[in-house]
Amino acid sequence: MFRSVESFLRPQTIAIVGASETGGAGWPKGLYENFKHEDFPARVYLVNPRRDELWGRKVYPDFASLPEKIDLAVVIIPAEAIPGVLAEGAEAGLRNALIYASRFGEGGDDVGAERAAELRDICDRTGLRISGPNCMGAISLPERLLFYPTSRVRGLPLGSVGVVFQSGGTFQFWLEQGAARGLGYSYAVSSGNELDLDMADYINFLVDDDHTRVIACMAEGVSRPDALMAAVERAFEANKPVLMLKVGHSAAGQAAAQSHTGALATDHHVFTAMCRKFGVVPVDTLDALIEMSLAFSAGRLPHGDRVALVGYSGGAKGLFLDIAETDGVSMPDFTPETQAVLREHIDAGVPTSNPLDTGAGLARRFPEFAEVAKIVAQDPNIDMVSVQGQLPLAEGTAGDPDLFRQIRDSTDKPVVAHNRMSQNINDAGRAFQAAAGIPFLQRLPEVATTLKALAAYAERRRRGIPPFAADKVSLDPDAAVEDVLAGHGISGPKSAFASNAAGVGDKALGVGFPVAVKIVSPQAVHKTEVRGVALNLASPEDAVAAAQAMSDRLLAAEPGAVVEGFLIQQMVDGLEVIVGVRDDPQFGAVLALGIGGVMVEAMRDVAFRLLPVTDEDVGDMINELRAKAVLGAFRGAAPRDVDALVAAVVGLSNSWPALQDRISDIEINPMMVGAEGEGVVAADIRSLSRDQN
């Protein structure tokens, strides 16, 4: 599943193909000078059939003339010449190639696509590995190798963050900004178009690398979803957090979806569900990716999600309270015991509430401020602490960094410092941060998202990645879908089936009035849209008339429609929800849970997870719903049977292994959630067999 990148990122021999003073916008010279700057950690050869000597070194005409086999060729020649040159290189034992050039099929270029196909064929035939094309290279700081073609990456600090970006220009800029904030790197790769090696391969390498503790990624697309999921699962098992910024929230490809679940589960929703399952930390911005990389690099995880903020600014306190309410940051009160101790240390009249504003006096008496932070850190109601602090622009102007270290050392909880706004950070600030031993996070919104991310990752670590529960239900593989669901605790209302409208009345008598009548037809996937549902019918005559009317309407609208019959169901009261599973072509089975029944697409109040799900996962999904209050005692209605809803959703998840070979999409809409103790009823179950897609 994974292709090795060992000899790409740790090469012993390197060839600069296209070596010249001016070619490739000066990139060959830039690469050579980067190797020279690091005193040539690998054996470097120059290749150019038009030169004999360059930079005081021998230049070879081709791979065959080189004195030894090459681990990595950095290729800076026109795109049209690359397939032929790499074919010759592979024959001479070349193991890896790094291609910076574009025009390999981007944007629907047919000529480039043919060129890319040639390269794939070379890889398949010879085992050559290719990084790129259309990328900006890589860096291997433990080996002191800079495959980036300009000097801007010189001086990047060695550290514990491994980086994989599909974007080339953003890659270099982010590395610089992260280093300015105090990040250090192990390996960093700009993977480009991923014609061969891809993000999954690089993550897999970083999982096994002893230097790397955190993996930061920017993804524009996913070429091999199965491999990516396997790689991030390996990272999770190795306790190496993967932070992922995914570009694009597009719903492309959903227009043809045949179910509400398909229409609602956009690419972004499914990708986020994948992240949640495997403990990948989703990130929204490049700035947040830096903050989270700093916080996760500190190596501490909380035991819960409860945050305390300790500062000396009333304005910052108010701002953070607004952010916490919007973002759902848990900020409980301190215990009475903690509050009693705090009153002895903070300015008189200052509330002992969370966030804690100690008063301006302690801003000038930082040893006392640090003692207050230690008191807060010991509070059993608190899992993480953020302490106000600003990095100095000049040495000796911001107090003693050891006081921050003492706060950190007083607890095993995550401790960060926060600044109200972004600030410029120079060598003095980075040195102060290193001495303090905690990350100094910039901007209050990023403080909130970072601490929430720490808590979410820690919670997933406690739960682990759930397997499918052992299926206790043994059914015939040809059993009806409804029977499989019933075996997992999901049942519909009392019902009957009539093959024609005339038979609906007698069947309705057997079910018991009032009833609902629903047309059954391949042309009535969404029954309400073709007026194929009639509710609260109180007599056999009404039931027959309703069935005949909906049949007539369907046939008038679609003369070739096939009416297979009518489903007659006992009317059921309750809150309408939708529960569905859709087999996503990239990431597998995706479960949707939402409130709204037929209005679900308008409300779009839906949560998503990859299967399987546990009781805890479903509880989280319910808490994500904006309208979750309607499941409680809302406007005089009795609280809904949430436990039964959770059990039903988990039951649908557990039923999937028995259904997945023949069904691509199943939806219960509506599922009626009764009052507490009344359970749930699957009022309408609809599935799509795989041969319907």
Q: How far apart are the C-alpha atoms of 570 and 536, rounded to whole Å?
A: 9
Print the domain residue range for 307: 300-463
- CB within 8 A of 217, min separation 6: which ones? 163, 164, 165, 199, 203, 242, 243, 244, 245
Q: How far apart are the C-alpha atoms of 679 and 600, rounded to whole Å?
A: 21
Is 15:75 a contact under the CB 8 Å cutoff?
Answer: no
Identify whether residues 230 and 127 lie together within a single domain: yes
Is residue 484 in some structural domain? Answer: no
- C-alpha angle with apex 241: 239 to 247, nearest 5 degrees? 155
SS3 sequence, 184-235? CEEEEEECCCCCCCCHHHHHHHHHHCCCCCEEEEEECCCCCHHHHHHHHHHH
Output the DSSP codes for 532-600.
-EEEEE-SHHHHHHHHHHHHHHHHHH-TT----EEEEEE---SEEEEEEEEEETTTEEEEEEEE-GGGH
Identify whether residues 233 and 324 lie together within a single domain: no
Minimal CA–CA distance to 275: which of 241, 309, 322, 299? Answer: 241
Is 464:457 a contact under the CB 8 Å cutoff?
Answer: no
Identify whether residues 10 and 82 lie together within a single domain: yes
Which strand (E) or helix (H) includes residue 476?
none
- Of 273, 292, 311, the position where a domain reaches its end is 292
Q: How far apart are the C-alpha atoms of 61 and 50, rounded to whole Å?
A: 7
Looking at residue 520, which CATH number applies to its domain?
A: 3.30.1490.20
Identify whether residues 135 and 217 lie together within a single domain: yes
Number of domains in the chain: 4
Identify whether residues 221 and 247 lie together within a single domain: yes
One-letter amino acid for residue 502 of the chain:
A
Q: How far apart are the C-alpha atoms of 623 and 681, rounded to whole Å?
A: 21
Identify whether residues 137 and 167 lie together within a single domain: yes
Is residue 208 in some structural domain? Answer: yes
Is residue 14 in some structural domain? Answer: yes
Q: How far apart are the C-alpha atoms of 230 and 465, rounded to whole Å?
A: 12
- CB within 8 A of 405, min separation 6: which ones? 435, 436, 437, 438
Pairing of strands 137-140, 145-146: antiparallel
Is 544:551 a contact under the CB 8 Å cutoff?
Answer: no
- Of 536, 570, 604, the position where a domain reaches its end is 570
Q: How far apart are the C-alpha atoms of 550 and 433, rounded to whole Å?
A: 72
Q: How far apart are the C-alpha atoms of 239 and 471, rounded to whole Å?
A: 30
Q: How far apart are the C-alpha atoms of 570 and 492, rounded to whole Å?
A: 9
Q: How buried is 144 (Cβ within 10 angstroms: 0-12 exposed, 13-18 middle, 19+ buried)?
A: middle
Which strand (E) or helix (H) includes residue 165?
strand 158-165
Looking at residue 603, which CATH number applies to its domain?
A: 3.30.470.20
Identify whether residues 364 and 513 lie together within a single domain: no
576 has which bridge partners?
Answer: 672
Residues of the chain with pLDDT under 70: 249-266, 397-398, 470-475, 597-603, 692-693
**What pLDDT was estimated at residue 684?**
86
Phi-psi region of 150 (alpha: psi -120 to 50; beta: other; left: phi over 0): beta
Q: How far apart are the C-alpha atoms of 432 and 527, rounded to whole Å?
A: 66
SS3 (DSSP) at 644: helix
Is residue 480 in some structural domain? Answer: no
Is residue 477 in some structural domain? Answer: no
**What pLDDT was estimated at residue 264?**
44
Q: How far apart are the C-alpha atoms of 461 and 127, rounded to whole Å?
A: 37
Count of beta carbons in the 10 Å neighbourhood of residue 504 = 29
- The conformation of residue 513, written as its DSSP 8-state character, comes to S
- The conformation of residue 675, written as its DSSP 8-state character, comes to B
134, two tokens: 């259309």
Q: How far apart are the C-alpha atoms of 59 and 66, rounded to whole Å?
A: 9
**Alpha-carbon distances of 533 from 139, 280, 493, 571, 666, rounded to whole Å:** 62, 43, 15, 12, 19
Q: How far apart are the C-alpha atoms of 36 and 179, rounded to whole Å?
A: 22
Identify whether residues 287 and 320 lie together within a single domain: no
- Of 555, 570, 585, the position where a domain reaches its end is 570
Identify whether residues 287 and 156 lie together within a single domain: yes
Laid out side by side, the sheet with 415-419 consists of: 356-357, 307-311, 384-388, 415-419, 440-442
Max CA pair span of the chain: 100
**What pLDDT was estimated at residue 22?**
80
Identify whether residues 50 and 178 lie together within a single domain: yes
Is residue 539 in some structural domain? Answer: yes
- CB within 8 A of 343, min separation 6: which ones? 352
Is residue 469 in some structural domain? Answer: no
Query: Angle of helix 540-557 relative to helix 504-511, nearest 10 degrees?
Result: 130
Identify whether residues 405 and 359 lie together within a single domain: yes
Is residue 530 in some structural domain? Answer: yes
Q: How buried is 332 (Cβ within 10 angstroms: 0-12 exposed, 13-18 middle, 19+ buried)?
A: middle
Average pLDDT, the chain: 92
What is the value of pTM for the model shown?
0.90
pLDDT digits (tens, 9 = 90+) for 14-67: 999 999 988 777 899 999 999 999 999 999 999 999 999 999 999 999 999 999
Is 420:259 a contact under the CB 8 Å cutoff?
Answer: no
- CB within 8 A of 555, min separation 6: which ones? 561, 563
Looking at residue 312, which CATH number applies to its domain?
A: 3.40.50.261
Q: How far apart are the C-alpha atoms of 284 and 615, rounded to whole Å?
A: 28
Pairing of strands 440-442, 495-498: unpaired
Identify whether residues 96 and 63 lie together within a single domain: yes
